[in-house]
């Protein structure tokens, strides 16, 4: 499985934008980039996904590098409720897509 590399932890001030990076230099042409987050004592929840183009939804934006070897999850205004572990995952198209989570980035939001 293609691997992703994320910083172990990041801090952000409340109401400021947060940029969470992910490196995936071995990504294949058919891999989608998914982001999930896990709040304390909860299961992971879907945030956003993309293939080549930047994506926006109500939770976040996903910026994908032109060579697809890296991506950035953007939270436009961090709130205390955004404190979580964020996982960047590569998902192969086709089949049922067994996925591999890494250790993720633990985001701390400072009031």
Which residues bind to another protein, rule: CB under 8 A?
A: 32, 34, 41-46, 85, 87, 91, 93-104
| Closer Cβ to another protein, 34 or 78, answer by number | 34
Q: How far is the CB of 85 from another protein (least distance, A)?
A: 8
Q: How far is the CB of 18 from another protein (least distance, A)?
A: 20
Alpha helices in the chain (DSSP H): none
Q: How far is the CB of 44 from another protein (least distance, A)?
A: 5
Residues for the chain: how many in total? 111
d(CA 40, CA 68): 30
Residue appearing with tokens 């953007």: 74
| Closer Cβ to another protein, 81 or 98, answer by number | 98
Cα–Cα nearest to 109, from 14, 17, 15: 14
> 56 with 47: CB under 8 angstroms?
no
Q: How far is the CB of 23 from another protein (least distance, A)?
A: 16
- Per DSSP bridges, beta strands 9-13 and 105-110 are parallel
| Closer Cβ to another protein, 13 or 97, answer by number | 97
| Closer Cβ to another protein, 43 or 111, answer by number | 43
């Amino acid at each position: 499985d293609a691997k992703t590399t994320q910083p172990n932890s990041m801090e952000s001030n409340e109401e400021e934008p947060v940029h969470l990076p992910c490196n995936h230099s071995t990504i294949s042409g058919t891999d989608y980039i998914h982001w999930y987050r896990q709040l304390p004592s909860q299961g992971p929840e879907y945030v956003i996904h993309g293939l080549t183009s930047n994506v926006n939804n109500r939770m976040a934006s996903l910026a994908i590098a032109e060579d697809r070897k890296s991506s950035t999850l953007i939270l436009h205004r961090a709130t205390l409720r955004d404190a979580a572990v964020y996982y960047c995952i590569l998902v192969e198209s086709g089949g049922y897509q067994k996925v591999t989570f890494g250790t993720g980035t633990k985001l701390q939001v400072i009031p």
